[in-house]
Amino acid sequence: MKYFWIGIVALVSFSSCDREDDLPFELTAEGLIGTWEHFQSQGNTGGGDYWTPYEASGRTITFLPGGKFKSVDYFVCGEGDYTVADRTVTFLFDCEEEVPERNYFLGEKEGDLVLSPGLPYMCIEGCSYIFKKIE
């Protein structure tokens, strides 16, 4: 009977854990604050997935407190506002951009941030961009 109760306690303890509790950062506006460098891209040309090499690109997005962002060589417009809701980040650009706002679905892969384009620039075959936190 003693082992039965130990098993029940262990089961309850492990079942209350959420996978998001194990993420190295939160997929929230506060969790994104800092500088993230683009390290890898994933896409599909209809003939199968491809991955670029995992290496520093010099292309960054810095999420600032208060909902502002700055980017270096990632967007045409290098600054603006951002909001995060329902695992989606929306970028609103402060300068002339082909589309004044862009949406990306947020994810995590092995401690890195994954941005996958949403409307209006969704990838038909699927794509994502991997960012490593550098600051």
Query: How confident is the model over 45-94, as pLDDT tens digits?
Result: 777 888 999 999 999 999 999 999 999 999 888 899 999 999 999 999 98
pLDDT score of 46: 76
Residue range 105-129: mean pLDDT, rounded? 88
Name the one residue in this structure whose structure tokens are 């082992």. Answer: 3
d(CA 44, CA 134): 27
Classify strands 60-64 and 88-93 as parallel, antiparallel or unpaired. Answer: unpaired
34, 63 contact by CB (below 8 A): yes
pTM of the model: 0.77
pLDDT score of 67: 97
User: How many CB atoms lie under 10 A from the CB of residue 62?
Assistant: 19
93, 82 contact by CB (below 8 A): no
